[in-house]
């Protein structure tokens, strides 16, 4: 990000900021739920990450499969088929999780 944003941040400050951004929400969660509920907090964080995964995969698969953008490094047909199949499976699993969580299925 340093080159992209053209910011010069000392290494120790960058590490401190990224660690703080990760730890502060976790500490707040532990304070709110208690130390006995850390397992539930971990599961909740993994559920959130799984729901975000399709939104990261879709542009990645689209861009790496675009020969105009990637040139000779574009994905082959086999790689595209495997990637889109995994995308469909992950998305379907997430939709099923949302349906179950919403109580729409017995």
Give the model confidence (pLDDT) of 90-103 as tens digits. 999 999 988 888 88
Q: What is the DSSP string of the chain?
A: -HHHHT----HHHHHHHHHHHHHHHHHHHHHHH-GGGHHHHHHHHHHHHHHHHHHHHHHHHHHHT-HHHHGGGSPPHHHHHHHHHHHHHHHHHHHHHHHHHTT---
pLDDT of res. 6: 78
Q: Which is more confidently placed, 19 or 9?
A: 19
pLDDT, average across residues 20-46: 87
pLDDT of res. 1: 60
Give the CA distances from residue 29 to residues 15, 23, 40, 43, 44, in Å, rounded to whole numbers and listed in that order.
22, 10, 10, 12, 11
pLDDT of res. 92: 96
Mean pLDDT of the chain: 89
Could you tell me the residue ranges of all domains in the chain?
A: 1-33, 35-106
């Amino acid at each position: 990000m340093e080159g992209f944003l053209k910011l010069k941040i000392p290494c120790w400050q960058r590490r401190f900021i990224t660690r703080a951004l990760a730890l502060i929400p976790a500490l707040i969660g532990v304070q709110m739920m208690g130390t006995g509920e850390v397992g539930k907090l971990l599961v909740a964080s993994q559920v959130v990450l799984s729901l975000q995964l399709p939104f990261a995969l879709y542009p990645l698969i689209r861009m790496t499969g675009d020969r105009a953008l990637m040139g000779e490094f574009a994905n082959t047909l086999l790689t595209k088929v495997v990637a889109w199949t995994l995308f469909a499976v992950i998305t379907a699993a997430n939709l099923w999780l949302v349906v179950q969580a919403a109580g729409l299925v017995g």
